[in-house]
Amino acid sequence: APPRVVVIGGGFGGGTCARFLKTHGLDVTLVEPSPTFTACPLSNSVVVGLRPIERQRFGYDGIRRAGVAVVHQRAAAVDPQARRVTLGDGVVLDYDRLVMSPGIDIRYGALPGYDEKAAQVMPHAWKAGEQTVLLARRLEALEDGGVVVMSVPANPYRCPPGPYERASLIAHYLKTRKPRSKLIVLDAKDGFSKQRLFQAAWARLYPGLLELVPLSGGGQVTAVEPDGLTFVTDFDRVKADVANVIPPQKAAAIAEAAGVADRSGWCPIDPVSFESRLQPGIHVIGDSAIAGAMPKSAFSANAQAKACAEAVAALLRDDQPASPKLINTCYSLVAPDYGISVAGVYAPSSGTLADVEGAGGTSPLDAPDEARAKEAAYAHSWFDIVTAEVFG
Give the footprint of ligand FAD on this chain (CB under 6 A): 8-14, 31-34, 37, 40-41, 43-44, 74-75, 101-103, 126, 158-159, 162, 252, 254, 286-288, 296-299, 301, 330-331
Q: Identify the three-state secondary structure at position 336.
A: coil
Q: Which CB atom, from 129 or from 232, has the smaller least distance to ligand FAD?
A: 129
Q: Compute the least distance from the CB of residue 296 to ligand FAD, in Å.
A: 5
Answer yes or no: are the C-beta atoms of 240 and 118 closer than 8 Å: no
Strand intervals (E) in 49-154: 57-58, 69-71, 75-79, 84-87, 92-94, 97-100, 104-106, 147-152
- Helices in the chain by DSSP H: which ranges? 12-22, 43-47, 61-65, 118-121, 130-141, 162-177, 195-205, 253-257, 298-316, 369-391
Count CB neighbours of 381 within 10 A. 10
**Residue 33 or 52 having the CB closest to ligand FAD:** 33
With contact defined as beta carbons under 8 Å apart, do 115 and 237 qualify?
Answer: no
Which residue of this chain has its Cβ atom nearest to ligand FAD in the complex? 11
In terms of CB distance, is 317 or 325 closer to ligand FAD? Answer: 325
CA distance 5 to 305: 13
**Alpha-carbon distances of 137 from 74, 178, 186, 344, 365, rounded to whole Å:** 29, 15, 22, 36, 34
Instruction: Output 49 or 217, the one with its CB closest to ligand FAD.
Output: 49
Least spacing, CB of residue 304 vs ligand FAD, in Å: 9
Angle between helices 298-316 and 369-391 (to 10 degrees): 40
* Type of residue numbered 111: L
Nearer to ligand FAD, 113 or 286 (CB): 286
Handedness of CA 189, 193, 195, 200 (dihedral sign): negative
Measured from the CB atom, is 99 or 232 closer to ligand FAD? 99
The nearest distance, CB 316 to ligand FAD, in angstroms, is: 22
Q: 232 or 258, CB closer to ligand FAD?
A: 258
CA angle 306, 309, 314 (to 5 degrees): 130
* Rounded Cα distance, 383 and 364, in Å: 22
Shortest Cβ distance from residue 277 to ligand FAD (Å)? 18
> Please, what is the minimum distance in Å from the beta carbon of residue 38 to ligand FAD?
8
In the complex, least distance from residue 246 CB atom to ligand FAD, rounded to whole angstroms: 8
Nearest approach, Cβ of residue 162 and ligand FAD (Å): 4
